Structure 1
Amino acid sequence: MIKADYHVHSAFSRDSQTPMADQVKRAVELGFQELCFAEHVDYGIAVDPSEDAPIVYLSGQPMVNVDYPTYFATLASLRQEYADRIRIRGGLEFGVQVETIPQFEKLYHAYEDQLDFILLSCHQAEGKGFWTGEFQEGRTQQEYNEGYYDAIYHVMQNYKDYNILAHLDLIVRYDPAGVYPFAKIRDHVAAVLELAIADGKGIEINTSSWRYHLPDTQPSRDILKLYKDLGGKIITIGSDGHTTSQLGAHYEEAAAILRDEIGFDAIYTFEKGKPCGHKL
Protein backbone atom coordinates (compact mmCIF):
# COMPACT_ATOMS: atom_id res chain seq x y z
CA MET A 1 0.00 0.00 0.00
CA ILE A 2 1.31 3.42 -0.94
CA LYS A 3 1.86 5.94 1.84
CA ALA A 4 0.90 9.35 0.48
CA ASP A 5 -0.16 12.20 2.78
CA TYR A 6 -2.20 14.53 0.60
CA HIS A 7 -2.99 17.35 2.99
CA VAL A 8 0.09 18.89 4.58
CA HIS A 9 0.83 22.46 5.65
CA SER A 10 4.07 24.29 6.31
CA ALA A 11 5.13 27.79 7.24
CA PHE A 12 3.75 28.94 3.90
CA SER A 13 0.34 28.61 5.58
CA ARG A 14 -0.45 31.34 8.07
CA ASP A 15 -1.38 28.82 10.80
CA SER A 16 1.85 26.81 10.65
CA GLN A 17 5.37 27.60 11.77
CA THR A 18 6.95 24.41 10.42
CA PRO A 19 9.53 24.79 7.64
CA MET A 20 8.63 22.87 4.50
CA ALA A 21 11.99 21.06 4.65
CA ASP A 22 11.15 19.73 8.11
CA GLN A 23 7.88 18.27 6.87
CA VAL A 24 9.64 16.56 3.96
CA LYS A 25 12.36 15.16 6.21
CA ARG A 26 9.76 13.78 8.63
CA ALA A 27 7.76 12.19 5.81
CA VAL A 28 10.89 10.37 4.63
CA GLU A 29 11.57 9.18 8.19
CA LEU A 30 8.02 7.80 8.37
CA GLY A 31 8.41 5.91 5.11
CA PHE A 32 6.06 7.97 2.95
CA GLN A 33 6.53 7.62 -0.78
CA GLU A 34 4.60 10.78 -1.62
CA LEU A 35 3.76 14.07 0.08
CA CYS A 36 1.50 16.85 -1.13
CA PHE A 37 1.53 20.34 0.35
CA ALA A 38 -1.78 22.20 0.34
CA GLU A 39 -1.16 25.66 1.73
CA HIS A 40 -4.05 27.89 2.76
CA VAL A 41 -5.57 30.49 0.46
CA ASP A 42 -8.69 32.20 1.80
CA TYR A 43 -9.65 35.27 -0.20
CA GLY A 44 -12.32 37.30 1.52
CA ILE A 45 -10.69 37.07 4.94
CA ALA A 46 -7.01 36.91 3.92
CA VAL A 47 -4.93 38.86 1.42
CA ASP A 48 -1.93 37.95 -0.73
CA PRO A 49 1.42 39.28 0.54
CA SER A 50 1.73 41.35 -2.62
CA GLU A 51 -1.67 43.03 -2.23
CA ASP A 52 -1.87 46.66 -1.23
CA ALA A 53 -4.60 45.93 1.28
CA PRO A 54 -4.90 46.09 5.06
CA ILE A 55 -4.12 42.86 6.90
CA VAL A 56 -6.80 41.61 9.28
CA TYR A 57 -5.74 39.88 12.49
CA LEU A 58 -7.82 37.09 14.03
CA SER A 59 -6.73 35.87 17.46
CA GLY A 60 -3.44 37.68 16.86
CA GLN A 61 -2.85 35.80 13.59
CA PRO A 62 -2.29 37.82 10.41
CA MET A 63 -4.70 36.69 7.70
CA VAL A 64 -2.23 36.42 4.83
CA ASN A 65 -2.20 33.93 1.96
CA VAL A 66 0.77 32.16 0.39
CA ASP A 67 3.89 33.84 -0.94
CA TYR A 68 3.46 31.98 -4.23
CA PRO A 69 6.81 32.61 -5.98
CA THR A 70 8.79 31.58 -2.90
CA TYR A 71 6.50 28.60 -2.32
CA PHE A 72 7.03 27.15 -5.79
CA ALA A 73 10.76 27.89 -5.71
CA THR A 74 11.09 26.04 -2.39
CA LEU A 75 9.14 23.09 -3.76
CA ALA A 76 11.48 22.92 -6.74
CA SER A 77 14.55 22.99 -4.54
CA LEU A 78 13.27 20.25 -2.22
CA ARG A 79 12.19 18.08 -5.13
CA GLN A 80 15.74 18.19 -6.43
CA GLU A 81 17.25 17.49 -3.01
CA TYR A 82 14.93 14.55 -2.22
CA ALA A 83 14.44 13.22 -5.76
CA ASP A 84 15.59 9.71 -4.86
CA ARG A 85 13.67 9.49 -1.58
CA ILE A 86 10.15 10.90 -1.97
CA ARG A 87 7.81 12.46 -4.52
CA ILE A 88 6.81 15.98 -3.49
CA ARG A 89 3.66 17.44 -4.97
CA GLY A 90 2.65 21.08 -4.93
CA GLY A 91 -0.90 22.02 -4.08
CA LEU A 92 -3.05 24.68 -2.49
CA GLU A 93 -6.10 24.58 -0.27
CA PHE A 94 -8.66 26.99 -1.67
CA GLY A 95 -11.15 28.27 0.91
CA VAL A 96 -13.65 29.47 -1.68
CA GLN A 97 -16.79 31.53 -1.20
CA VAL A 98 -19.13 32.32 -4.10
CA GLU A 99 -18.13 35.97 -4.04
CA THR A 100 -14.40 35.16 -4.14
CA ILE A 101 -14.52 32.78 -7.12
CA PRO A 102 -13.05 35.34 -9.57
CA GLN A 103 -9.95 35.74 -7.38
CA PHE A 104 -9.42 32.00 -7.22
CA GLU A 105 -9.90 31.64 -10.98
CA LYS A 106 -7.23 34.26 -11.56
CA LEU A 107 -4.83 32.63 -9.08
CA TYR A 108 -5.34 29.14 -10.47
CA HIS A 109 -4.69 30.15 -14.04
CA ALA A 110 -1.59 32.13 -13.02
CA TYR A 111 0.04 29.02 -11.49
CA GLU A 112 -1.79 26.15 -13.20
CA ASP A 113 1.37 24.79 -14.81
CA GLN A 114 3.08 24.52 -11.40
CA LEU A 115 0.21 22.93 -9.50
CA ASP A 116 -0.44 19.23 -8.98
CA PHE A 117 -3.42 19.42 -6.69
CA ILE A 118 -6.18 21.66 -5.36
CA LEU A 119 -8.25 21.03 -2.24
CA LEU A 120 -11.59 22.83 -2.16
CA SER A 121 -12.53 23.87 1.36
CA CYS A 122 -15.32 25.80 2.97
CA HIS A 123 -13.92 27.62 6.01
CA GLN A 124 -16.42 30.46 5.96
CA ALA A 125 -19.57 31.62 4.22
CA GLU A 126 -20.94 35.13 3.85
CA GLY A 127 -17.52 36.22 5.09
CA LYS A 128 -18.26 34.58 8.46
CA GLY A 129 -15.97 31.89 9.79
CA PHE A 130 -17.18 28.55 11.06
CA TRP A 131 -14.15 28.18 13.34
CA THR A 132 -14.93 31.51 15.01
CA GLY A 133 -18.60 30.62 15.50
CA GLU A 134 -19.63 33.77 13.66
CA PHE A 135 -21.61 31.89 11.00
CA GLN A 136 -23.44 29.81 13.61
CA GLU A 137 -24.42 32.84 15.70
CA GLY A 138 -28.13 33.65 15.46
CA ARG A 139 -28.91 30.43 13.56
CA THR A 140 -30.45 27.18 14.73
CA GLN A 141 -28.38 24.01 14.48
CA GLN A 142 -30.44 22.97 11.47
CA GLU A 143 -29.93 26.34 9.79
CA TYR A 144 -26.16 26.48 10.11
CA ASN A 145 -25.66 22.82 9.17
CA GLU A 146 -27.82 23.16 6.08
CA GLY A 147 -26.21 26.52 5.36
CA TYR A 148 -22.75 24.97 5.50
CA TYR A 149 -23.49 22.30 2.88
CA ASP A 150 -25.49 24.72 0.74
CA ALA A 151 -22.50 27.09 0.71
CA ILE A 152 -20.26 24.28 -0.55
CA TYR A 153 -22.80 23.27 -3.20
CA HIS A 154 -23.20 26.80 -4.53
CA VAL A 155 -19.44 27.17 -4.86
CA MET A 156 -19.19 23.80 -6.66
CA GLN A 157 -21.85 24.87 -9.14
CA ASN A 158 -19.71 27.79 -10.21
CA TYR A 159 -16.12 26.72 -9.58
CA LYS A 160 -14.50 23.62 -11.11
CA ASP A 161 -10.73 24.12 -10.80
CA TYR A 162 -10.19 21.70 -7.94
CA ASN A 163 -9.59 17.98 -7.39
CA ILE A 164 -10.78 17.01 -3.91
CA LEU A 165 -13.33 18.27 -1.37
CA ALA A 166 -11.44 18.73 1.90
CA HIS A 167 -12.73 17.67 5.35
CA LEU A 168 -16.28 17.64 4.00
CA ASP A 169 -18.13 17.80 7.33
CA LEU A 170 -15.85 20.46 8.80
CA ILE A 171 -18.83 22.05 10.55
CA VAL A 172 -18.76 19.15 13.03
CA ARG A 173 -15.55 20.54 14.54
CA TYR A 174 -17.26 23.79 15.38
CA ASP A 175 -20.85 22.81 16.18
CA PRO A 176 -21.62 24.02 19.72
CA ALA A 177 -24.71 21.79 19.87
CA GLY A 178 -22.86 18.57 19.03
CA VAL A 179 -23.06 16.38 15.94
CA TYR A 180 -26.19 17.07 13.89
CA PRO A 181 -27.99 13.80 12.96
CA PHE A 182 -26.91 12.57 9.54
CA ALA A 183 -30.44 11.58 8.57
CA LYS A 184 -31.52 15.22 8.83
CA ILE A 185 -28.72 16.47 6.58
CA ARG A 186 -28.39 13.51 4.20
CA ASP A 187 -30.09 15.12 1.21
CA HIS A 188 -27.87 18.20 1.43
CA VAL A 189 -24.75 16.02 1.63
CA ALA A 190 -25.96 13.82 -1.22
CA ALA A 191 -26.40 16.85 -3.47
CA VAL A 192 -22.78 17.85 -2.82
CA LEU A 193 -21.47 14.35 -3.45
CA GLU A 194 -23.53 13.80 -6.59
CA LEU A 195 -22.21 17.02 -8.08
CA ALA A 196 -18.63 16.12 -7.16
CA ILE A 197 -18.97 12.70 -8.80
CA ALA A 198 -20.59 14.19 -11.91
CA ASP A 199 -17.69 16.65 -12.20
CA GLY A 200 -15.05 13.94 -11.77
CA LYS A 201 -13.95 15.24 -8.37
CA GLY A 202 -13.18 13.33 -5.18
CA ILE A 203 -13.17 13.63 -1.41
CA GLU A 204 -10.58 13.06 1.29
CA ILE A 205 -10.53 11.29 4.60
CA ASN A 206 -8.90 13.82 6.91
CA THR A 207 -7.13 12.18 9.83
CA SER A 208 -7.17 15.32 11.97
CA SER A 209 -10.44 13.89 13.33
CA TRP A 210 -8.29 11.92 15.79
CA ARG A 211 -6.49 14.96 17.15
CA TYR A 212 -9.72 16.98 17.31
CA HIS A 213 -11.23 14.08 19.28
CA LEU A 214 -14.23 13.90 16.98
CA PRO A 215 -16.62 10.99 17.55
CA ASP A 216 -16.16 9.71 13.98
CA THR A 217 -13.92 10.05 10.97
CA GLN A 218 -13.91 13.26 8.93
CA PRO A 219 -15.97 13.09 6.91
CA SER A 220 -18.06 10.63 8.89
CA ARG A 221 -18.46 6.99 7.97
CA ASP A 222 -22.01 7.82 6.88
CA ILE A 223 -20.67 10.32 4.35
CA LEU A 224 -17.91 7.99 3.18
CA LYS A 225 -20.45 5.19 2.66
CA LEU A 226 -22.85 7.51 0.85
CA TYR A 227 -20.07 8.69 -1.46
CA LYS A 228 -19.19 5.10 -2.36
CA ASP A 229 -22.84 4.07 -2.76
CA LEU A 230 -23.41 6.96 -5.14
CA GLY A 231 -20.52 5.72 -7.29
CA GLY A 232 -17.67 7.81 -5.92
CA LYS A 233 -14.18 6.35 -6.27
CA ILE A 234 -11.61 9.14 -6.02
CA ILE A 235 -10.42 9.53 -2.43
CA THR A 236 -7.21 10.73 -0.79
CA ILE A 237 -5.83 10.43 2.73
CA GLY A 238 -4.58 13.62 4.37
CA SER A 239 -3.35 14.38 7.86
CA ASP A 240 -4.00 18.13 7.63
CA GLY A 241 -0.70 18.24 9.47
CA HIS A 242 0.64 21.65 10.45
CA THR A 243 3.57 20.26 12.46
CA THR A 244 5.95 17.33 12.04
CA SER A 245 4.17 15.50 14.87
CA GLN A 246 0.86 15.72 13.01
CA LEU A 247 2.17 14.73 9.58
CA GLY A 248 1.05 11.25 8.53
CA ALA A 249 -0.80 10.63 11.79
CA HIS A 250 -3.32 7.76 11.79
CA TYR A 251 -2.66 7.01 8.13
CA GLU A 252 -2.89 3.24 8.54
CA GLU A 253 -6.11 3.48 10.58
CA ALA A 254 -7.71 5.65 7.90
CA ALA A 255 -6.64 3.29 5.13
CA ALA A 256 -8.05 0.32 7.04
CA ILE A 257 -11.40 2.08 7.51
CA LEU A 258 -11.62 2.89 3.81
CA ARG A 259 -10.72 -0.67 2.79
CA ASP A 260 -12.31 -2.87 5.45
CA GLU A 261 -15.34 -0.86 6.60
CA ILE A 262 -16.36 1.21 3.59
CA GLY A 263 -15.14 -1.05 0.80
CA PHE A 264 -12.83 1.20 -1.22
CA ASP A 265 -10.19 -0.69 -3.16
CA ALA A 266 -7.90 2.23 -4.01
CA ILE A 267 -6.66 5.60 -2.83
CA TYR A 268 -5.48 8.33 -5.15
CA THR A 269 -2.55 10.62 -5.76
CA PHE A 270 -2.29 13.46 -8.28
CA GLU A 271 0.25 14.79 -10.75
CA LYS A 272 -0.56 17.98 -12.67
CA GLY A 273 -4.20 17.55 -11.67
CA LYS A 274 -4.45 13.98 -13.01
CA PRO A 275 -5.62 11.28 -10.55
CA CYS A 276 -3.77 7.99 -10.18
CA GLY A 277 -5.24 5.08 -8.22
CA HIS A 278 -3.23 2.84 -5.90
CA LYS A 279 -4.54 -0.44 -4.54
CA LEU A 280 -5.39 -0.35 -0.85
Structure 2
Amino acid sequence: MKTDYHLHTAYSDDSIYPLEDLVKDAIQLGLKEICVTDHVDYGVKYDRDDPNRPKDAVLNVDYPAYFDELEKLQQVYGSQITIKKGLEFGVQLHTVDAFERLFETYPLDFVLLSIHQIDDLEFWTQDFQKGRSQKEYNEHYYSYLYDVMSRFSHYSVLSHLDLIVRYDKQGRYPFEQVKPLLEKILKKVIADGKGIEVNTSSFQYGLDDLMPSRDILRLYHDLGGTIITIGSDAHTKQYVGNQIEDVKQELKSMGFTHFHTFEAMKPIAHEL
Protein backbone atom coordinates (compact mmCIF):
# COMPACT_ATOMS: atom_id res chain seq x y z
CA MET A 1 0.00 0.00 0.00
CA LYS A 2 1.40 3.38 -1.03
CA THR A 3 1.14 6.03 1.67
CA ASP A 4 2.67 9.37 2.64
CA TYR A 5 2.49 10.32 6.31
CA HIS A 6 4.12 13.75 6.37
CA LEU A 7 2.52 16.38 4.12
CA HIS A 8 2.10 20.16 4.25
CA THR A 9 -0.38 22.48 2.61
CA ALA A 10 -1.32 26.16 2.59
CA TYR A 11 -2.51 25.74 6.17
CA SER A 12 1.20 25.69 7.10
CA ASP A 13 2.98 29.03 7.13
CA ASP A 14 5.70 27.71 4.81
CA SER A 15 3.52 26.34 2.00
CA ILE A 16 1.04 27.63 -0.55
CA TYR A 17 -0.08 24.16 -1.69
CA PRO A 18 -3.91 23.99 -1.66
CA LEU A 19 -5.17 21.05 0.38
CA GLU A 20 -7.54 19.79 -2.30
CA ASP A 21 -4.76 19.95 -4.88
CA LEU A 22 -2.63 17.76 -2.62
CA VAL A 23 -5.42 15.19 -2.42
CA LYS A 24 -5.92 15.18 -6.19
CA ASP A 25 -2.17 14.88 -6.80
CA ALA A 26 -1.86 12.03 -4.29
CA ILE A 27 -4.63 10.13 -6.10
CA GLN A 28 -2.93 10.73 -9.45
CA LEU A 29 0.34 9.40 -7.98
CA GLY A 30 -1.36 6.19 -6.87
CA LEU A 31 -1.25 6.79 -3.14
CA LYS A 32 -3.89 4.89 -1.21
CA GLU A 33 -3.59 6.79 2.07
CA ILE A 34 -2.21 10.14 3.15
CA CYS A 35 -1.98 12.02 6.41
CA VAL A 36 -1.86 15.80 6.27
CA THR A 37 0.41 17.15 9.02
CA ASP A 38 0.45 20.93 8.90
CA HIS A 39 2.68 22.96 11.22
CA VAL A 40 2.01 24.15 14.75
CA ASP A 41 4.95 25.86 16.47
CA TYR A 42 3.88 27.66 19.63
CA GLY A 43 6.50 30.06 20.89
CA VAL A 44 7.49 31.39 17.47
CA LYS A 45 4.03 31.27 15.84
CA TYR A 46 0.61 32.32 17.06
CA ASP A 47 -2.96 31.12 16.79
CA ARG A 48 -5.29 33.41 14.88
CA ASP A 49 -7.51 34.04 17.90
CA ASP A 50 -4.62 34.86 20.24
CA PRO A 51 -5.33 38.41 21.50
CA ASN A 52 -1.63 38.90 22.26
CA ARG A 53 -0.31 38.11 18.80
CA PRO A 54 1.67 40.84 17.05
CA LYS A 55 0.31 42.28 13.79
CA ASP A 56 3.14 40.68 11.80
CA ALA A 57 2.99 37.34 13.63
CA VAL A 58 3.60 34.07 11.80
CA LEU A 59 0.46 31.98 12.25
CA ASN A 60 -0.25 28.39 13.15
CA VAL A 61 -2.91 26.31 11.39
CA ASP A 62 -6.40 27.80 11.09
CA TYR A 63 -7.82 24.80 12.97
CA PRO A 64 -11.59 25.18 12.30
CA ALA A 65 -11.04 25.71 8.57
CA TYR A 66 -8.42 22.94 8.39
CA PHE A 67 -10.48 20.23 10.02
CA ASP A 68 -13.63 21.32 8.20
CA GLU A 69 -11.91 21.04 4.83
CA LEU A 70 -10.33 17.70 5.71
CA GLU A 71 -13.76 16.29 6.57
CA LYS A 72 -15.27 17.60 3.34
CA LEU A 73 -12.45 16.10 1.28
CA GLN A 74 -12.84 12.77 3.08
CA GLN A 75 -16.44 12.72 1.89
CA VAL A 76 -15.67 13.81 -1.68
CA TYR A 77 -12.62 11.60 -2.31
CA GLY A 78 -13.13 8.82 0.23
CA SER A 79 -13.75 6.19 -2.44
CA GLN A 80 -10.39 6.96 -4.06
CA ILE A 81 -8.04 7.66 -1.14
CA THR A 82 -8.00 7.53 2.65
CA ILE A 83 -7.27 10.93 4.18
CA LYS A 84 -6.17 11.03 7.82
CA LYS A 85 -6.16 14.07 10.12
CA GLY A 86 -2.75 14.97 11.46
CA LEU A 87 -0.64 17.83 12.72
CA GLU A 88 3.07 18.38 13.20
CA PHE A 89 3.69 19.61 16.74
CA GLY A 90 6.89 21.64 17.06
CA VAL A 91 7.05 21.29 20.84
CA GLN A 92 9.27 23.21 23.23
CA LEU A 93 9.39 22.79 26.99
CA HIS A 94 7.69 26.13 27.59
CA THR A 95 4.90 25.34 25.10
CA VAL A 96 3.87 21.91 26.39
CA ASP A 97 0.70 23.24 28.05
CA ALA A 98 -0.45 24.89 24.81
CA PHE A 99 -0.03 21.61 22.93
CA GLU A 100 -1.87 19.72 25.66
CA ARG A 101 -4.85 22.05 25.17
CA LEU A 102 -4.68 21.76 21.39
CA PHE A 103 -4.58 17.96 21.49
CA GLU A 104 -7.65 17.87 23.73
CA THR A 105 -9.60 20.24 21.44
CA TYR A 106 -9.49 18.50 18.05
CA PRO A 107 -9.81 14.84 17.02
CA LEU A 108 -6.55 13.64 15.48
CA ASP A 109 -5.44 10.42 13.85
CA PHE A 110 -1.74 11.17 13.98
CA VAL A 111 0.73 13.59 15.57
CA LEU A 112 4.33 14.14 14.53
CA LEU A 113 6.52 15.32 17.41
CA SER A 114 9.25 17.64 16.15
CA ILE A 115 11.86 19.88 17.69
CA HIS A 116 12.16 22.86 15.34
CA GLN A 117 13.36 25.42 17.88
CA ILE A 118 14.81 25.46 21.38
CA ASP A 119 14.05 28.44 23.62
CA ASP A 120 12.48 30.01 20.51
CA LEU A 121 15.86 29.91 18.75
CA GLU A 122 15.63 28.58 15.19
CA PHE A 123 18.01 25.98 13.75
CA TRP A 124 17.65 27.13 10.13
CA THR A 125 18.82 30.66 10.97
CA GLN A 126 21.73 29.29 13.05
CA ASP A 127 20.46 31.25 16.08
CA PHE A 128 20.42 28.08 18.18
CA GLN A 129 23.89 26.97 17.09
CA LYS A 130 25.45 30.43 17.55
CA GLY A 131 27.99 30.51 20.37
CA ARG A 132 27.96 26.73 20.81
CA SER A 133 30.46 24.14 19.63
CA GLN A 134 29.26 21.35 17.33
CA LYS A 135 29.40 18.99 20.31
CA GLU A 136 27.38 21.37 22.47
CA TYR A 137 24.53 22.04 20.04
CA ASN A 138 24.20 18.39 18.98
CA GLU A 139 24.14 17.07 22.53
CA HIS A 140 21.80 19.84 23.67
CA TYR A 141 19.39 19.06 20.82
CA TYR A 142 19.09 15.36 21.73
CA SER A 143 18.95 16.02 25.47
CA TYR A 144 16.22 18.58 24.91
CA LEU A 145 14.23 16.16 22.76
CA TYR A 146 14.35 13.60 25.57
CA ASP A 147 13.15 16.20 28.07
CA VAL A 148 10.21 17.14 25.81
CA MET A 149 9.27 13.46 25.36
CA SER A 150 9.33 13.06 29.13
CA ARG A 151 6.78 15.87 29.56
CA PHE A 152 4.58 15.44 26.48
CA SER A 153 3.09 12.10 25.47
CA HIS A 154 0.36 13.03 22.98
CA TYR A 155 2.27 12.10 19.87
CA SER A 156 2.50 9.15 17.48
CA VAL A 157 6.07 9.22 16.18
CA LEU A 158 9.23 11.31 16.44
CA SER A 159 9.59 13.25 13.21
CA HIS A 160 12.98 13.67 11.46
CA LEU A 161 14.75 12.58 14.66
CA ASP A 162 18.16 13.92 13.64
CA LEU A 163 16.87 17.16 12.08
CA ILE A 164 19.84 19.08 13.49
CA VAL A 165 21.97 17.43 10.79
CA ARG A 166 20.16 19.41 8.09
CA TYR A 167 21.33 22.68 9.63
CA ASP A 168 24.81 21.65 10.79
CA LYS A 169 27.29 23.71 8.78
CA GLN A 170 30.18 21.70 10.23
CA GLY A 171 28.98 18.44 8.71
CA ARG A 172 27.50 15.34 10.27
CA TYR A 173 28.43 14.94 13.95
CA PRO A 174 29.76 11.40 14.64
CA PHE A 175 27.04 8.93 15.54
CA GLU A 176 29.12 7.30 18.27
CA GLN A 177 29.38 10.62 20.11
CA VAL A 178 25.59 10.90 20.51
CA LYS A 179 24.75 7.18 20.54
CA PRO A 180 24.14 7.07 24.33
CA LEU A 181 21.64 9.94 24.04
CA LEU A 182 19.96 8.34 21.04
CA GLU A 183 19.73 5.00 22.81
CA LYS A 184 18.03 6.71 25.75
CA ILE A 185 15.56 8.41 23.41
CA LEU A 186 14.76 5.25 21.46
CA LYS A 187 14.33 3.12 24.56
CA LYS A 188 11.76 5.62 25.81
CA VAL A 189 10.00 5.66 22.42
CA ILE A 190 9.68 1.88 22.58
CA ALA A 191 8.66 1.76 26.25
CA ASP A 192 5.97 4.38 25.66
CA GLY A 193 4.51 2.53 22.68
CA LYS A 194 5.46 5.29 20.25
CA GLY A 195 7.40 5.17 16.98
CA ILE A 196 9.75 7.06 14.71
CA GLU A 197 9.47 8.44 11.20
CA VAL A 198 11.68 8.06 8.17
CA ASN A 199 11.55 11.48 6.55
CA THR A 200 12.43 11.32 2.86
CA SER A 201 13.23 15.02 2.59
CA SER A 202 16.83 13.85 3.05
CA PHE A 203 16.78 13.21 -0.71
CA GLN A 204 15.31 16.63 -1.43
CA TYR A 205 18.00 18.37 0.64
CA GLY A 206 20.85 16.25 -0.69
CA LEU A 207 21.87 14.82 2.68
CA ASP A 208 24.44 12.03 2.78
CA ASP A 209 22.17 9.59 4.65
CA LEU A 210 18.56 8.83 5.42
CA MET A 211 16.71 10.89 8.05
CA PRO A 212 17.12 9.58 10.64
CA SER A 213 20.40 8.04 9.64
CA ARG A 214 20.82 4.36 8.90
CA ASP A 215 22.82 4.05 12.13
CA ILE A 216 19.86 5.39 14.11
CA LEU A 217 17.42 3.14 12.27
CA ARG A 218 19.57 0.07 12.92
CA LEU A 219 19.86 1.01 16.58
CA TYR A 220 16.08 1.37 16.80
CA HIS A 221 15.65 -2.06 15.24
CA ASP A 222 18.26 -3.66 17.51
CA LEU A 223 16.56 -2.21 20.58
CA GLY A 224 13.28 -3.82 19.50
CA GLY A 225 11.59 -0.85 17.86
CA THR A 226 8.90 -1.71 15.33
CA ILE A 227 6.55 1.27 14.89
CA ILE A 228 7.73 3.30 11.93
CA THR A 229 6.05 5.67 9.48
CA ILE A 230 7.38 7.08 6.21
CA GLY A 231 6.69 10.60 4.99
CA SER A 232 7.97 12.94 2.32
CA ASP A 233 7.64 16.22 4.26
CA ALA A 234 6.40 17.62 0.95
CA HIS A 235 5.32 21.26 0.79
CA THR A 236 4.75 21.15 -2.99
CA LYS A 237 3.50 18.61 -5.54
CA GLN A 238 7.06 17.86 -6.66
CA TYR A 239 7.92 15.88 -3.53
CA VAL A 240 4.67 14.08 -2.66
CA GLY A 241 5.49 10.40 -2.18
CA ASN A 242 9.16 11.09 -2.91
CA GLN A 243 11.39 7.98 -2.53
CA ILE A 244 8.95 6.32 -0.12
CA GLU A 245 8.84 2.98 -1.93
CA ASP A 246 12.66 2.89 -2.10
CA VAL A 247 12.89 3.57 1.63
CA LYS A 248 10.58 0.63 2.30
CA GLN A 249 13.11 -1.66 0.64
CA GLU A 250 15.91 -0.16 2.72
CA LEU A 251 13.96 -0.76 5.90
CA LYS A 252 13.30 -4.33 4.84
CA SER A 253 17.03 -4.88 4.30
CA MET A 254 17.65 -3.67 7.87
CA GLY A 255 15.30 -6.29 9.27
CA PHE A 256 12.10 -4.28 9.66
CA THR A 257 9.01 -6.17 8.54
CA HIS A 258 6.27 -3.53 8.71
CA PHE A 259 5.55 0.16 8.26
CA HIS A 260 2.59 1.86 9.92
CA THR A 261 -0.39 4.09 9.37
CA PHE A 262 -2.55 5.51 12.16
CA GLU A 263 -6.20 5.89 13.03
CA ALA A 264 -7.41 7.74 16.14
CA MET A 265 -3.79 7.75 17.36
CA LYS A 266 -3.51 3.95 17.11
CA PRO A 267 -0.84 2.34 14.89
CA ILE A 268 -1.84 -0.05 12.12
CA ALA A 269 0.88 -2.34 10.74
CA HIS A 270 1.36 -3.10 7.03
CA GLU A 271 3.90 -5.46 5.53
CA LEU A 272 6.84 -3.81 3.83
Alignment TM-score > 0.5, same fold? yes
Task: Give the equivalent residue in structure 1 for 2:250.
Answer: 257
Match of 1:47 in 2: 46
The residue number in structure 2 matching 1:32 is 31
What SS does the corresponding residue of 1:245 show, helix, strand or coil?
A: helix
Q: TM-score, normalised by structure 1?
A: 0.96
- Which of 212, 220, 226 is matched with 2:213 structurally? 220
Runs of 4+ in 1 over 6 A off after TM superposition: none
Q: How does 1:200-279 map to 2 (within 5 A)?
A: 200-260=193-253, 262-279=254-271
CA distance in 1, matches of 2:245, 2:55: 39
Give the alignment partner of residue 74 of structure 2, picking from 71, 79, 85.
Answer: 79
Q: CA-to-partner distance for each residue in 1:122-165, whole Å, 9 max, x for gaps?
A: 00111111111111000000000001001100000010000000
1:110 to 105, 113, 134: 105
Aligned to 2:157: 164
Q: CA RMSD in A?
A: 0.9
- Paired with 1:80 and 1:177, the residues of 2 have a C-alpha distance of 48
Q: Which runs of 5+ in 2 are unaligned?
A: none
| CA deviations over 1:190-228 (Å, ceiling 9, x no partner) | 111111111000001000000100000000000000011
Any idea what the Cα deviations from partners look like across 1:214-271, whole Å, max 9, x if unmatched?
A: 00000000000001111100000000000111111111111111112x1110000000
Alpha carbons 1:41, 1:92 under 8 Å: kept: yes
TM-score by length of 2: 0.98
Counterpart residue type for residue 195 of structure 1: K
| Equivalent residues of 1:56, 1:63 under 8 A apart | no
8 Å CA contact retained: 1:46, 1:55: no
The whole-number CA distance in structure 2 between the counterparts of 1:173 and 1:276 is: 30
What amino acid is aligned across from residue 141 of structure 1 in structure 2?
Answer: Q
Deviation, structure 1 residue 56: 7.8
State the aligned residue count: 272
Q: Which amino acid aligns with 1:44?
A: G
* Residue 22 of structure 1: aligned partner: 21
Matched, 1:68 2:67: no
